[in-house]
Homo-oligomer: A and B are copies of this chain.
Amino acid sequence: MTSTAARLTGTKGVARADREQQIVAVAGEVFAERGFALASVDEIARRAGISKPLIYNYFGSKEGLLAACLAYAGTLVADEIERTARLGEVGLARALVSLDGLFRALEPAPWTWRLLNDPTVPGGPELDPVLATYRSRMAALSADGVGELMRLAGDDDPADTDAMTAVWTSVLDALVTWWLDHPAETPEQMSRRCVRLFAAVLGPVDVDLPGRSG
């Protein structure tokens, strides 16, 4: 009675690289859903259709798995924001272009954002390097954009710039999170909404978001 359906052990012919990618995708979702601290490796294994020891074979520990997820997510997000930064827009237009790019980049893997902003990820020698890399890339971008804004306003207090960076980061987070909570909204609609919101606070603005086809 060794039916194919009953075959429970042994190789399933999936190469390690493929399996790792699949596990990272599932783990990212679960981590983002429950928060790292409350997510269980068992659940990740169940949802990926494999067993827990395989995860430990490949990633060493729960934190090692998280490190892989964070590396993927951090690269995705930071690459995108650096790309939009290179477009050369300044001030408000730069902010809107960043948001637009972010919505598009996040669409295929919305869990990345929640994961990068998960307050329950612990410190530790395994996570610190990857988190530091991501955070320093983002801090450089923010300091760039926000610093320019503050210089324009004639405010050169570094603590003010620091606080303003925190505010801008948080606005970004609020908009992305709102979007994640309204999945029916397309990136295009969301970008237009952002333009309206900025206009409500700052007065009329005009920017033409790039990359819209058709």
Chain A residues numbered 164-214 whose CB sits less than 8 Å from any CB in chain B: 164, 166-167, 169-171, 173-175, 177-178, 182, 193, 196-197, 199-202
Residues of chain B contacted by A153 (CB below 8 angstroms): 199-201
Residues of chain B contacted by A37 (CB below 8 angstroms): 35, 37-38, 120
Residues of chain B contacted by A169 (CB below 8 angstroms): 174
Q: Given B167, B197, B201, B202, which contacts A163 in the complex, CB threshold below 8 Å?
A: B197
A149 within 8 A of B: yes
A119 within 8 A of B: yes
Is the Cβ of B149 less than 8 Å from the Cβ of A200?
Answer: yes
Q: Is the interface of A mostly helix, strand, loop or mixed?
A: helix
Residues of chain B contacted by A177 (CB below 8 angstroms): 166
A residues contacting the other copy or chain, number (CB 8 A): 33
Of the 9-residue stretches A9-17, A60-68, A75-83, A154-162, which lies at the interface with chain B? A154-162
Knowing A120-B120, A150-B200, A193-B160 touch, does A173 contact B170 (C-beta < 8 A)?
A: yes
30 A-B contact pairs sorted by A residue (CB < 8 Å): A35-B119, A35-B120, A37-B37, A37-B38, A119-B119, A120-B120, A149-B200, A149-B201, A150-B200, A153-B199, A153-B201, A155-B199, A155-B200, A159-B193, A160-B196, A160-B197, A160-B200, A162-B178, A163-B193, A166-B174, A166-B175, A166-B177, A166-B178, A167-B174, A167-B197, A169-B174, A170-B173, A170-B174, A171-B171, A171-B174
Please report A residues at the B interface, Cβ cutoff 8 Å. 35, 37-38, 119-120, 149-150, 153, 155, 157, 159-160, 162-164, 166-167, 169-171, 173-175, 177-178, 182, 193, 196-197, 199-202
